[in-house]
Chain A
Amino acid sequence: DAGVTQSPTHLIKTRGQQVTLRCSPISGHKSVSWYQQVLGQGPQFIFQYYEKEERGRGNFPDRFSARQFPNYSSELNVNALLLGDSALYLCASSLWTGANQPQHFGDGTRLSIL
């Protein structure tokens, strides 16, 4: 069984640009969560989607948005990129919502802002 896949693996953008990151969950998983991991910190929760609806949102500005498609894949969009958006963006999937559902993480997208 394929794990959580994220694309692209690396991305370089400049300030003010927009970026879209993609995530395919494990087959059968209906919940997708997005995290930002800055160097030296733990993953920070951005969004959770379940059955195509937003179920949770972390403390991130409106420049961050996401959506989930009928096949349960998901996209994270970030507009008006800032230098501080440079980070590893992780996607995690689980069968359904609930912290007691172990989340399976992808290997992340490394985003660098110049």
Chain B
Amino acid sequence: DQQVKQNSPSLSVQEGRISILNCDYTNSMFDYFLWYKKYPAEGPTFLISISSIKDKNEDGRFTVFLNKSAKHLSLHIVPSQPGDSAVYFCAASAMNRDDKIIFGKGTRLHILP
């Protein structure tokens, strides 16, 4: 039972354009959401997070949008750079219940020259 779904296994974007990675969740108890980035042979690296009391959080080139009614969040990367090529994991947690972080399967982003 996938509680966090990343339905696009891969995405290719031209360098300099916007990359949009999508994530859906099913558990309405989730109240904290995170994005991690993973390069091959390395552990995931925290990118950005958002609490359910917000609908947008921005950090430099990275912006996360949360639509609670649709149980959907997205990560926008503008402008996309070659170093952004990696696997991106969406994750969620029900902080009021426990500290478990549930990850999606990931989306592989390819930035094309």
Q: Which positions in B face A, CB cutoff 8 Å?
A: 4, 6, 32, 34, 36, 41-46, 49, 51, 89, 91, 93, 95, 98-106
Residues A103 and B100 in contact, CB atoms below 8 Å apart: no
Residues A45 and B43 in contact, CB atoms below 8 Å apart: no
Residues A107 and B100 in contact, CB atoms below 8 Å apart: no
What are 28 pairs between A and B in contact, CB < 8 Å? A4-B43, A33-B101, A35-B103, A40-B105, A41-B105, A42-B4, A42-B6, A42-B104, A42-B105, A44-B103, A45-B100, A48-B100, A56-B98, A90-B43, A97-B99, A98-B95, A99-B32, A99-B93, A99-B95, A99-B99, A100-B32, A100-B95, A102-B46, A104-B46, A105-B36, A105-B45, A106-B43, A108-B43
- Please classify how large the interface on chain A is, using the bins under 10, 10 to 19, 20 to 34, 35 or more: 20 to 34
